[in-house]
Amino acid sequence: MALPESDGVKEDVDFHLSIAQYFVDVLDKFINELQRDAPGPHSKWRSCYLDFHFVMALAGNSFTNEQQATAVEKINCTWNDFLQKKSYAPVQQREYDSTQDSMLNISFS
């Protein structure tokens, strides 16, 4: 006899699946962008998808469409700004190690 499905467990599984899907989407877009642009080894090329992800993570872990719309309005940037590779100072000022530490310390609550 199978146990009945728990709403709490289903919500947790759905939440973690959506976070995993978000990261898969970001990586897929990054890989496609990298293959399309093919920057040289000494290029200062930046990924608009990774920049957008970092900005959203720094803007209160904005992973849903609603949270992202609020964050983009708050920081006064548009998706087109990211596509045009305009710099966003809080992301560019961070050194790689501190950005990596920030990403590792994100809480999803």
pTM above 0.75, yes or no: no
Placement of tokens 């849903």 in the chain: 64
Q: How confident is the model at residue 28 (pLDDT cuts 50, 70, 90)?
A: very high
CA atoms within 13 A on the CB side of 28: 6
Mean pLDDT within 25-50: 83
79, 72 in Cβ contact below 8 A? yes
Q: Is the CA virtual torsion 70, 75, 80, 82 positive or negative?
A: negative
**Whole-number pLDDT of residue 58:** 78
**Whole-number pLDDT of residue 16:** 84
Mean pLDDT within 98-106: 52
